[in-house]
């Protein structure tokens, strides 16, 4: 056996014998390092005659290549063995509680949606939903807002590109189109709330282009404005967690309700704080009224037979009032510091029995 073959055998044996990264590195240095055995051999090529180099060159370079390859192979074997050992010994106990710092928080909007769903569910309402991109017909026309009606200007609508038939879908400007969808697809009695996203081209400290509303709709044969007042009063007491609220129904106008009213809650403002159920101030919280006979008719219900009420409130505003949040814009900026401050614990799901917000 030649010297080169002997060196190769010894080096390869050392490589496969290396039990960890440090041992392998020592073998690499002893072979391929500056003064390593293979490096020294390579250096001898310089002083050989051309003929000798033609013979020895391929042998020595081949040795270097095989040693290099063996080192890399061993390195990856060691890494695999390491991983396998960890996989065998380390187990994740999925039954352990999450660490507090890794827990997410519930956004105040989601929290308030869950709270009002719990409150209205207790009064027999179910939750209905509709699409964010809505037909013009459902967002406006069926709600008694025909094309060219001035009430369309009250909503700064985002219009989509026109369809083949010339109609333009819109980003819904309120949750009221879900009234239409529900009346067209269900027979009364109807008792729904619709929490969801709504859009208007509007932006300042209290307006964002996307915001949230909750719609309410009750249709049967006998429901009247007294029921509307009771439902809203019960809701406000439960939501703001006060024993008594005083509400003011101000006559107003919506094309889809008649009569229509805006509802103010009595309150007292002290600096940044607002208290409900006392004081000399009034704060507007929602719009409502008896569903307009034309809307019932547009949705296929006989207005001689059916009647009921509807209301719509801003969820963002409810959240700001209840939790003392002064600016609306950070709601949608995904700043984790804000979320940690104003967010809610994930497992404290609001219920009437357990408490709405803890
Ligand atoms: N959709 C109305 C708005 O966005 C609110 C409303 C809903 C009023 C239902 C009356 C009845 O301004």
Instruction: Quick: pLDDT tens for 92-117.
Output: 888 888 776 667 889 999 999 999 99
> Does 18 contact ligand 1 (Cβ within 6 A)?
no
Q: Which pLDDT belongs to residue 115? A: 96
Instruction: List the residue whose alpha carbon is closest to atom 7 of ligand 1.
Output: 312
Whole-angstrom Cα distance, residue 240 to residue 228?
18
- Within 13 Å, how many C-alpha atoms sit on residue 84's CB side? 6
* Ligand 1 neighbour 350 (Cβ under 6 A): no
309 Cβ below 6 A of ligand 1: no
For the chain, percent of residues with pLDDT exceeding 90: 68
Closest-CA residue, ligand 1 atom 4, reads 174
Q: What tokens does 269 get?
A: 């403002």
Ligand 1 lined by 198 (C-beta under 6 Å): no
The predicted pLDDT at position 275 comes to 78
**Cβ atoms within 10 Å, residue 5:** 11
Q: Which residues pair with 343 in a beta bridge?
A: none
- Nearest CA residue ID for atom 10, ligand 1: 288
Using a 6 Å cutoff on CB, does residue 27 contact ligand 1? no
Mutate to test the pocket of ligand 1, among 157, 232, 259, 287 (most ligand atoms within 8 A of CB): 287
Do 306 and 252 contact (CB within 8 A), yes or no? no
36 lines ligand 1 (CB under 6 A): no
Looking at ligand 1, which atom is closest to the CA of residue 179?
A: 9
Expressed in angstroms and rounded, the spacing between residue 177 Cα and the centre of ligand 1 is 10
Q: Is the pLDDT of residue 358 over 60?
A: no
Q: Answer whether 170's CB lies under 8 Å from 158's CB.
A: yes
- Residues 57, 172: Cα–Cα separation, whole Å: 79
Q: Using a 6 Å cutoff on CB, does residue 287 contact ligand 1?
A: yes
pLDDT given at position 101: 62
Confidence band, pLDDT 50/70/90 cuts, at residue 70: very high
Question: Residue 148 pLDDT more than 90?
Answer: no
Q: Separation of 314 CA from ligand 1 center, angstroms?
A: 9
Q: How far is 238 from 355, CA to CA, in rounded Å?
A: 10
Instruction: Evaluate if residue 272 carries a pLDDT over 80.
Output: no
Angle between helices 21-32 and 37-44 (to 10 degrees): 20
Given this model, what pLDDT does residue 150 score?
73
169 lines ligand 1 (CB under 6 A): no
> What mean pLDDT do residues 42-59 have?
91
3-state secondary structure of 283: strand
Q: Is 211 near ligand 1, meaning CB less than 6 Å away?
A: no
Q: Tokens 């009064």 — which residue?
A: 123
User: Which residue's entry shows tokens 């101030």?
Assistant: 281
In short, whether 289's Cβ falls inside 6 Å of ligand 1 is yes
Q: Report whether residue 288 contacts ligand 1, using a CB cutoff of 6 Å.
A: yes
Going through 200-324 in order, the beta strands assigned E by DSSP cover 210-220, 247-254, 257-270, 273-276, 281-291, 307-314
**CA 202 to chain CA centroid, nearest Å:** 22
Angle at 244 between CA 243 and CA 245, to 5 degrees: 135
- Give pLDDT, residue 280: 87
Q: For residue 135, how far is its CA from the centre of ligand 1 (angstroms)?
A: 17
Q: Within 13 Å and on the Cβ side, how many CA atoms surround 170?
A: 21
Average pLDDT over residues 275-301: 92
Nearest to 173 by CA among 208, 141, 137, 132: 132
Q: Using omega within 30 degrees of 0 as the cis cutoff, is the peptide bond preceding 259 cis?
A: yes
Residue 315 near ligand 1, beta carbon < 6 Å: no
For residue 306 and ligand 1, the question of a CB distance below 6 A is answered with no
SS3 235: helix
């Amino acid at each position: 056996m030649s010297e080169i073959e002997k060196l190769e055998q010894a080096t390869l044996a050392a490589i496969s014998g290396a039990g960890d990264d440090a041992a392998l590195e020592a073998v690499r240095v002893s072979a391929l390092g500056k003064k390593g055995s293979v490096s020294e051999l390579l250096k001898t090529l310089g002083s050989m005659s051309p003929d000798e180099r033609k013979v020895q060159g391929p042998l020595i370079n081949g040795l270097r290549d095989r040693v290099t390859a063996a080192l890399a192979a061993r390195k990856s074997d060691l890494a695999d063995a390491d991983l396998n050992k960890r996989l065998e010994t380390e187990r994740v106990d999925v039954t352990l509680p999450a660490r507090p710092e890794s827990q997410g928080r519930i956004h105040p909007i989601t929290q308030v949606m869950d709270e009002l769903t719990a409150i209205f569910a207790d009064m027999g309402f179910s939750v209905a939903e509709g699409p964010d991109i809505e037909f013009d017909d459902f967002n406006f026309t069926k709600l008694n807002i025909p094309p060219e009606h001035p009430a369309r200007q009250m909503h700064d609508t985002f219009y989509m590109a026109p369809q083949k038939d010339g109609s333009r879908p819109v980003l819904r400007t309120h949750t009221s189109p879900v009234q239409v969808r529900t009346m067209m697809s269900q027979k009364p009695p109807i008792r729904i709330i619709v929490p969801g996203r709504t859009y208007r081209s509007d932006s300042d400290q209290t307006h964002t282009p996307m915001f949230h509303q909750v719609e309410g709709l009750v249709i049967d044969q006998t429901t009247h404005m007294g029921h509307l007042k009771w439902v809203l009063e019960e809701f406000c007491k439960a939501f703001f967690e006060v024993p008594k609220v005083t509400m003011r129904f101000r006559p107003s106008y919506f094309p889809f309700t008649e009569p229509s009213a805006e509802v103010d809650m009595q309150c007292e403002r002290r600096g940044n704080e607002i208290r409900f159920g006392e004081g000399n101030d009034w704060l507007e919280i929602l719009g409502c009224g008896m569903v307009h006979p034309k809307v019932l008719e547009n949705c296929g219900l006989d207005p001689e037979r059916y009647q009921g009420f509807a209301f719509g409130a801003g969820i963002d505003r409810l959240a700001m009032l209840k939790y003392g949040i002064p600016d609306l814009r950070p709601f949608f900026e995904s700043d984790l510091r804000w979320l940690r401050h104003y967010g809610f614990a994930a497992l404290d799901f609001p219920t009437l029995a357990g408490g709405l917000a803890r």
